[in-house]
Amino acid sequence: MIDTIQIREAIPSDAEKLLNHLKKIAIETGFMTMGIEGPGKSIETETQEIEAIVASDVTVMLVALDKEEIIGIAEIHGTNRPKLRHIGDISISIAKDYWGMRLGTMMMEKLIEWANGPSSSLKRLELTVQARNERARRLYEKMGFNLEAIMPRGVKDEGMYLDVCLMSMMIGEI
Ligand SMILES: CC(C)(COP(=O)(O)OP(=O)(O)OC[C@H]1O[C@@H](n2cnc3c(N)ncnc32)[C@H](O)[C@@H]1OP(=O)(O)O)[C@@H](O)C(=O)NCCC(=O)NCCS
């Protein structure tokens, strides 16, 4: 991986750069659920969300920076609803110029490490990925995620209904 890249937890002052990254990714690849409409959030809202994430035991957000620019985001997103607060939903997006440099592998390793660590109360990680997204599917399989289901018409992109895979990984004992 390039020496100038640093991976760390997101901080509230990352909000603007983070939204810029999401806007860029949304049009760079058809693999995200977000499209040309972008994240649709203000910097203030994003700042508040990151503040809440920093204090959370069910959610973590990592950013990858090349010098000052955010070039990757990886998140485990949980909920405080009591019946669901053991489940974390994973998402990851890396700028196209940086694909294939093992950055995805490193960010996923760090998320899974966090989920298994003392700051987390998660027992299950899950994610959805388009069946046609072979790079992401291989990454998740390599990290130990299992395919649970294929959801026909799970997403619609450019007028086409596409299969979406539901994958999961259990965390610790219950
Ligand atoms: C999917 C994504 C996170 C992967 O990150 P990355 O940094 O490119 O991945 P890595 O370099 O760590 O490679 C991960 C694995 O992908 C697989 N892979 C790499 N290049 C590939 C290719 N051209 N075709 C198929 N699989 C490929 C390999 O198995 C690789 O692991 P290995 O090199 O140890 O065998 C990144 O490409 C991305 O953000 N894509 C756009 C958004 C997206 O698809 N997000 C996921 C939505 S669910």
Decide: 18 and 69 in contact? Cβ < 8 Å.
no
Provide the mean pLDDT of the chain.
96
- Measured distance CA(118)–CA(133) in Å, rounded: 32
Q: How confident is the model at residue 146 (pLDDT cuts 50, 70, 90)?
A: very high
For residue 81, how far is its CA from the centre of ligand 1 (angstroms)? 32
Measured from the CB, is residue 31 less than 6 Å from ligand 1? yes
Residue among 99, 103, 147 to mutate when testing ligand 1 (max atoms within 8 A of CB):
99
- Measured distance CA(148)–CA(166) in Å, rounded: 6
Whether CATH 3.10.310.30 fits 5-122: no
What are the tokens at 66?
Answer: 């090349």
Specify the residue with its C-alpha closest to ligand 1, atom 24: 135
Task: Give me the pLDDT at residue 1, please.
Answer: 67
* Sequence spans of domains, the chain: 5-122
Hey, what's the torsion of the CAs at 39, 50, 93, 165, to 10 degrees?
-80
Phi-psi domain of 161 (left: phi exceeds 0; alpha: psi -120 through 50; beta: other)? beta
3 state DSSP class of 166: strand
